[in-house]
Structure formats: structure tokens, C-alpha cells
Chains A and B, each alone.
Chain A
Amino acid sequence: QSALTQPASVSGSPGQSVTISCTGNSGDFGSDNLVSWYQQHPGKAPRLMISEVSKRPSGVSNRFSGSTSGNTASLTISGLQAEDEADYFCCSYADSGTWVFGGGTQLTVL
């Protein structure tokens, strides 16, 4: 299966909002909407930020939110802070039982 498509990089100033898109083909996003987003700082393991399209795990700031529209999932980070600078990956668990990841987006906080 092909990877989900994410922009290579996005940037924003502190306090601003940024949105990272994640586009797939029909069938990449299963019928159960099992789309998740991960934050990864250099040299660290990924951290789950959003599950099931829009659910925030305990401990994740409410500045992070997720949504979908058609074949595109989106992660929005509001009130950008310096510590948000990281790589972000989307992931989909498809009906076929396969996992597909996006190529990753590097977020720069200016």
C-alpha cells in the first residue's frame, strides 16, 4: 500500500495555528475512522497525540485537534509553542488490517 501524503514541512509563529494534512486513497481510511497522529522529537520514540480522528489521550494539550473530510485527515495545532517543533506523522488502520503511515511533516516554530 502507498504511504499517506503529508506536506514535508509547515511553519508558524508562536501563538499562531497550523494545520497538517494527510491525504489517502479511497480505502486508506477504514470505515471505523481509525486515524491517529504522532509527534516525534529528534531521537525520541513517537508519541500519540490524536486517536480515532479526533480523540486526545490523557495528557495531550487541548491545543491539538484532529478532523477528517473525505480522503483527508487533518491535525490542527493552535497557540503554537516552541516545544511543538517536531515531526508529525499520520497513521491509518485500514479495514484490511493494514497500517499505513504518512511520510511525516516537519513543523518549525519560527
Chain B
Amino acid sequence: QVQLQQWGAGLLKPSETLSLTCAVDGVSFSDYHWIWIRQPPGKGLEWIGEINESGSTNYNPSLKSRVTISVDTSKNQLSLKMNSVTAADTAVYYCARVRRGALPHWGQGTLVTVSS
């Protein structure tokens, strides 16, 4: 059974750095691509970025300058860092596993609120 467990700081001030981690269990971590997605309150889903098994990344152009996604294959974890956050970055952030252009497994989501 594939499980993705996320954690990270839920309350940030403007200009701080968002940092989230997603631990994967039940599947060979290095065999898949992984993705971060966010959902502002009451709104739709937005792709943040994707990382493949070799660590190559592909980011949403609108966020690329502020985002870093990395993996630690020894711990079966992926991470998201986003710097210079503003209130517009307030959202629920999800990690998910990629398979053939679909997302069959998701983390539970982490609400990140940016407020002064």
C-alpha cells in the first residue's frame, strides 16, 4: 500500500521560505516521478513542479524562479522549498506520485498560510 506523508511549517510570514517534506512508503521511490501541487483555499489545483528518478526537475514557469524540488533517495523523501512567499502562496500543498501522466497517490496535504 502506497503512502505519502507530508509535513512542514504551516504559518509563514511574507518573504520567508516555505519548506515541506514528503515521505514515501510502499513503493520503490526511485522508480517513479514525483510532483508537488498546490490548491489555494476554494480554488483549483496548480502544478508546482516535477522531479524524476534521476533528480531532473521541471517547474511551472510562473514559479520557477522561487522553487526548488529535491529528493533524498536514501530516506525515500522529496522536498519542496519556495522562497520569498507572499499571501498569494497561501494554499494546501500536496505531494503526489506520477504514473503515465496521472497522479494515483497523494499526500494528505499541508495547509500553508502566509500572513504578517
Chain A residues in the interface with B (C-beta under 8 A): 3, 30, 32, 34-36, 38, 45-48, 51-52, 57, 89, 91-93, 97-104
Contact = CB atoms under 8 A, between A and B. Distances in A.
A51 B35 contact: no
Contacts, number: 62
Nearest to B35: A99
Given A97-B58, A98-B60, A99-B50, A51 B44 contact: no
A92 B45 CA distance: 12
B102 A36 contact: yes
Contact of A51 (B37, B50, B94, B104): B104
A45 B106 CA distance: 7
A89 B45 contact: yes
A94 B44 CA distance: 18
B80 to A, nearest CB: 15
Contacts of B106: 45-47
Nearest to A33: B101
Given A97-B58, A98-B58, A34 B100 contact: yes
15 contacts: A30-B101, A34-B102, A36-B102, A45-B109, A47-B106, A48-B102, A48-B104, A52-B100, A89-B44, A89-B45, A93-B102, A98-B47, A98-B60, A99-B47, A100-B47
Question: Which 8 A-B pairs rank lowest in CB-CB distance, beginning with the nearest?
Answer: A34-B101, A93-B101, A51-B102, A99-B47, A36-B102, A45-B106, A101-B45, A104-B44
